[in-house]
Amino acid sequence: MPEQFSRKILLDLAAAFFLLGSVIVLVVSILNIPISTVYPTFRLREPLAYTYLVAVIIEIVAAILGFDCFNMTARRRLGSAGVRGVIIGAVLLSAAWMTDSQIIGVGAVLVLIAGIICYVYRE
C-alpha cells in the first residue's frame, strides 16, 4: 500500500514538473525577445543573431511538447511521456546554454526530472 501511494505521488509530481517547466520555458522564451532587444546588457545596439532566434523557436516548440508530455502523464502513458520528456529536457538544456538563460535551464531541469520519473515508473 505505501508503495502505490508513493508511486501515485511521484507521478503527480512528475505531471506538475512537466506543467511548471513548460510554462516557465514558454513564458520566459516569449518575453526574452523584447527584453533582449530593448535592454541590451552593456553593449551597443545590435540586431538579434540568427542562432538566438533559432534557439528561441526551439524553446517554444519544446515547451509546447512539454504540455503534451503533461497530457500523456495524466493519461498514464508513462513510457512515451518519459522518453519524450528526457529528450525535450536535454534539448531545452542545450537551448538554454545557447541563449544564456538560467531560468530556461531551470525549466529544462524540471522537464528532465519529470521525464526520468515517468520513465522509471513506466509499465
- Dump pLDDT digits (tens) for 3-23: 777 888 999 999 999 999 999
Report the chain's mean pLDDT, rounded to a whole number: 87
Residues 101 and 25: their CA atoms lie apart, in Å, by 10
Confirm if 114 and 73 have CB atoms less than 8 A apart: yes
Residue span of the structural domain in which 70 resides: 17-39+47-120
Q: Is residue 11 part of a domain?
A: no
Q: How far apart are the first and last CA of the chain?
A: 18
Q: In the chain, how many domains are there?
A: 1
Count of helix runs (H) and strand runs (E) in the chain: 4, 0
Strand, helix or coil at 35? Answer: helix
33 pLDDT higher than 90: no
Using CA of residue 84, residue 108, residue 41, residue 32, what is the dihedral sign? positive
Across the range 33-52, mean pLDDT stands at 68
pTM of the predicted model, to two decimals?
0.85
Determine the pLDDT at residue 112.
95
Q: Is residue 59 part of a domain?
A: yes
